[in-house]
Structures are given as structure tokens and as C-alpha cells.
């Protein structure tokens, strides 16, 4: 979600008395859960959101943090320490930065700096070790983030963080709990980065992979997603190739992403092999015809040489027949090569008209794709109990309908007619 109104560089006011001014202005989606909730949830949404004078350290580079230190009369190595404490030690509060002098901590606080970490409001643990976290943001909105441990053939455990890019989502795909919960606003850079740090904290382990497949459509917040991607790569030190950005398709954004020439994977959610069916599953497809989407995907591949992964949620009796698989193979061959299909057997959500396909249907779909020389994998479902799907846990606690924050919408819906798409 693009929000031109949300500058990467934040403008800050600083108490005049200090005389100091910073120079830089700076899905998966499933689990079987044991709930560890907070006692009495206070989720009333304050009318005003975060104090605009507050400045967030999380998301700043080492150089920028050194400048913060210099601006407050410290030596630049204090900035290096700050960087280590925030990203490696995951310190949450200014006053808990014990390795720094008390005077420096006080100065940071008085100048309006915060670390920028949100409390973990709730955690839900699946039998298979997947943990879903609810983070409570400054404006009391809740977002989901999921940590998924996977043991590889050699016995070492990879930890994938599935992160959200928006509070809710405006695109309302028909099978998605997040879409059903409405949309409020885009996430800021630090609100994306902190999800990864929270998962590392809970698992007491480094995150190895990040997928932008949580709540929201990342391409509608592309500016902040790219800023978070940069920070995750440079500061949290997650390799670009270990990061996947997913999209259901937003006009003009795939080209934009390609121009950044990232080494990360682009995952495009197709969910249907033709325009007519796709429009019934993904309403926003009306504004972005399948041919245009596939053409942009081809350009992306030519520009970046990075293989695109096509995500396909299998919905029983809707898009999971062998004929659908053949049509999908034909579509992919028509538009290029080097594609991979990732099948996701639907994870049922409360109130949904869709059902999970039988294993036999999934296998037949896989065979039909493979016999057409399409590489395919089936995403392993991580638990199927309550609150498993993306957005369900958030919806359980945040009952009040999400109200869009106009300031944070900006120009985020390029060429998309929401009146039509939603």
C-alpha cells in the first residue's frame, strides 16, 4: 500500500529548551492454538493517534543512529551501540538501554525519541510450533504476525516471519478473514520491522526468512514495505533472497518494484486461471485484468531475472478441478517461463462459503500441472483450529469495525476504483 503522505523521512519537533535537532529526518496464515490472552483488553481507538512529535529509533540505520548520538552531544560510537541494542538485543524502552549513560538516555527521552516497539497483546501457539502474535500499535490497532519454524532435511530449524503491511486490507478477497475485517491504515516502517524482532524475541531465535503475506496488500504500501525491506536486510541482516513480497496485483506497482532490482522473490496471488473466475474470488481483479497482470509479471522476470512464484488458493469445487489446472498451465506457458506455482489448500474460516479441497483433488491438480511441465509445490498447512487464518485472531479481539484513516490512504490505490473493487 502506497501512502505518499507517509514520508520515509519523518519530520520531528524537538523541545526548544534542549536546543538539539536531529539532522536526519529522518498467510501461511494458519495455526492450531493455545491462547495466552491479556486480561481485560482495552482496545478503544483513541481519536488522535501517535504524538506527531515522537521520533522512532527503530528503522534507522547505524549511520543515522550515530547522527542521533552526535546531535545529542555524544560520540558517534554511542550510535553504534544504539544500533546493536535495538536490532540485536531488541531493547524495547529508552530507559532499558542500560549500556548507555543515564544522561544520554534522558536526553533521548526528552528529545522525544522512543524505540518504537509495540507490546505483544496476545500469542497463540499451534501444536506444530507456529506462533501467531497480536501486536498492539500506538493507536490501539491490532496487527497479526506469525512465526513459523520449519525443520529442514539436515535437522536445522528455519524460522519464517509472516509479516503484515497494513492494518486490515481494503481489497477484500472473498476467502480472506483480513479482507472481511475492513481496513484502517498502512503500517509504518518500524511497525513492519518490529514484527520480525518480536518473533525473534518469542522464539529466542533469529528469523531466517520473511514473507510479506500477513494482513494487507504490500503493494498498496510499497514505500514503507521497501523501507522495511531495506532495514530488514541491512540492519536486521536478513538476506534479500530470504525475503518474499506478495501481491494480489495492484496496477503499476510490479514495474515499480522491478525498478528496485531486489534479489527477493515476488509472489503473485492468482487463485484462478481466467479473468471471469478470478473476479469472483479477487474483486480487485476487475481493475487489473489478468492479461495486464501477466504481462507485468513477464516484464518483471525480464527485468530482474528473478523467478515469480504464483500463489493459488485451492477452493473446493470452485477452482480446483483438473481443467482449471490445465488452463492455469496454459496461461503460464503463454506468458513466459521460469514460473513456479505454490498451491495453498484453503484453510476454512468462520462464515466462509468456501471449503477445503480433498487431498485427492489437490493431488490431481498437482499432477495436471506437472504433466504440463509447471513446477509446483503444495504449501503445508500449519494447524487448522480456531483463529488459524490470516486476520481471524485480530478480528476476534478488534470487534469494532476498522475505520479508514484518510491521512494514511494517500494515493495508495492507483487506478483502482474501490467502489467497484470492494
Residue with smaller CB distance to ligand SF4, 69 or 210: 210
Residue with smaller CB distance to ligand SF4, 216 or 383: 216
- Please report whether residue 172 would count as binding ligand SF4 according to CB under 6 A: yes
Residue with smaller CB distance to ligand SF4, 177 or 376: 177
- Please report whether residue 219 would count as binding ligand SF4 according to CB under 6 A: no
- Contact window for ligand SF4 (CB under 6 A) among 46-54, 61-69, 214-222, 317-325: 214-222
- Contact window for ligand SF4 (CB under 6 A) among 84-92, 211-219, 339-347, 400-408: 211-219
- Please report whether residue 296 would count as binding ligand SF4 according to CB under 6 A: no
To the nearest 10°, the Cα dihedral for 217, 223, 228, 233?
A: 110
- Determine which one of 31, 169, 297, 390 is catalytic: 390
Distance between CA atoms of residues 16 and 20, nearest Å? 7
Q: Which long-range contacts (CB under 8 A, 24 or more apart) does 177-181 make?
A: 177/349, 177/350, 177/389, 177/390, 177/391, 177/392, 177/395, 178/215, 178/216, 178/390, 178/391, 178/394, 179/391, 180/349, 180/351, 180/391, 180/395, 181/391, 181/394, 181/395, 181/398, 181/402
Footprint on residues 22-81 left by ligand SF4 (CB under 6 A): none
How many CB atoms neighbour CB 202 within 10 A?
A: 15
Q: Binding ligand SF4 by CB under 6 A: which of 171, 238, 318, 331? A: 171
Residue with smaller CB distance to ligand SF4, 100 or 228: 228
Residue with smaller CB distance to ligand SF4, 79 or 249: 249
Binding mask 230-259 for ligand SF4 (x = CB under 6 A): ------------------x-----------
- Please report whether residue 100 would count as binding ligand SF4 according to CB under 6 A: no
DSSP string for residues in 168-199? E-SS--TT-HHHHT-EEEEPPHHHHHHHHHHH
- Please report whether residue 324 would count as binding ligand SF4 according to CB under 6 A: no
- Please report whether residue 112 would count as binding ligand SF4 according to CB under 6 A: no
Contact 48, 89 (CB under 8 A): no
List C-alpha distances in Å: 47 to 112, 139, 188: 21, 9, 19
What radius of gyration, in Å, describes the C-alpha atoms of the chain?
A: 22
Active site residue 144: yes
Active site residue 390: yes
- How many Cα neighbours within 13 Å face the side chain of 164? 34
- Determine which one of 144, 194, 217, 311 is catalytic: 144
Helical residues (DSSP H) of 84-139, grouped into ranges? 102-110
From the CB of 87, what's the least distance to ligand SF4, in Å? 27
- Please report whether residue 169 would count as binding ligand SF4 according to CB under 6 A: yes
Q: Which residues contact ligand SF4 by CB under 6 A?
A: 169, 171-173, 176, 178-179, 215-217, 248
Query: Which residues are designated catalytic?
Result: 144, 390
Amino acid at each position: 500500500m502506497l501512502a505518499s503522505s507517509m514520508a520515509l523521512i519523518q519530520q520531528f519537533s524537538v523541545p526548544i529548551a534542549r536546543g538539539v535537532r536531529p539532522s536526519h529526518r529522518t498467510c501461511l496464515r494458519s495455526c492450531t492454538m493455545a491462547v495466552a490472552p491479556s486480561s481485560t483488553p482495552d482496545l478503544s481507538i483513541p481519536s488522535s493517534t501517535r504524538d506527531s512529535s515522537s521520533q522512532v529509533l527503530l528503522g534507522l540505520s547505524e549511520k543515522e543512529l550515530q547522527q542521533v548520538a552526535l546531535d545529542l552531544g555524544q560520540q558517534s560510537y554511542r550510535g553504534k551501540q544504539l544500533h546493536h541494542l535495538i536490532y540485536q538485543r531488541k531493547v524495547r524502552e529508552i530507559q532499558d538501554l542500560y549500556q548507555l549513560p543515564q544522561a544520554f538516555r534522558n536526553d533521548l527521552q526528552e528529545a522525544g525519541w522512543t524505540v518504537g516497539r509495540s507490546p505483544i497483546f496476545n500469542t497463540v501457539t499451534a501444536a506444530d510450533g507456529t506462533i501467531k502474535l497480536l501486536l498492539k500499535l500506538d493507536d490501539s490497532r491490532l496487527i497479526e504476525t506469525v512465526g513459523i519454524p520449519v525443520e529442514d532435511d539436515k535437522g536445522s530449524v528455519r524460522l519464517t516471519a509472516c509479516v503484515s503491511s497494513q492494518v486490515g486490507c481494503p481489497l477484500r478477497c472473498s476467502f480472506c478473514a483480513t479482507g472481511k475485517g475492513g481496513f484502517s491504515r498502512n503500517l509504518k516502517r518500524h511497525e513492519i520491522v518490529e514484527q520480525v524482532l518480536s518473533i525473534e524475541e518469542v522464539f529466542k531465535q533469529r528469523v531466517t526468512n520473511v514473507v510479506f503475506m500477513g494482513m494487507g496488500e504490500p503493494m498498496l504500501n510499497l514505500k514503507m514495505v521497501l523501507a522495511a525491506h531495506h532495514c530488514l536486510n541491512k540492519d536486521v541482516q536478513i538476506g534479500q533472497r530470504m525475503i518474499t513480497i506478495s501481491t494480489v496485483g495492484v496496477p503499476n506497482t510490479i514495474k515499480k518494484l522491478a525498478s528496485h532490482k531486489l534479489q527477493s522473490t515476488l509472489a503473485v496471488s492468482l487463485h484462478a486461471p481466467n479473468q471471469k473466475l478470478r473476479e469472483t474470488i479477487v474483486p480487485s481483479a476487475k481493475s487489473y485484468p489478468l492479461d495486464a497482470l501477466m504481462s507485468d509479471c513477464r516484464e518483471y522476470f525480464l527485468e530482474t531475472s528473478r523467478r515469480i512464484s504464483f500463489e493459488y488458493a485451492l477452493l473446493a469445487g470452485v477452482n480446483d478441478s483438473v481443467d482449471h489446472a490445465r488452463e492455469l498451465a496454459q496461461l503460464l506457458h503463454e506468458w513466459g517461463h521460469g514460473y513456479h506455482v505454490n498451491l495453498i489448500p484453503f484453510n476454512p474460516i468462520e462464515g466462509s462459503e468456501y471449503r477445503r479441497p480433498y487431498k485427492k483433488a489437490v493431488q490431481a491438480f498437482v499432477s495436471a500441472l506437472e504433466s504440463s511441465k509447471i513446477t509446483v509445490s503444495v504449501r503445508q498447512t500449519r494447524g487448522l483450529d480456531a483463529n488459524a487464518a490470516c486476520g481471524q485472531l485480530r478480528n476476534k479481539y478488534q470487534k469494532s469495525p476498522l475505520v479508514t484513516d484518510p491521512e494514511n490512504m494517500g494515493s495508495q490505490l492507483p487506478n483502482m476504483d474501490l467502489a467497484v473493487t470492494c
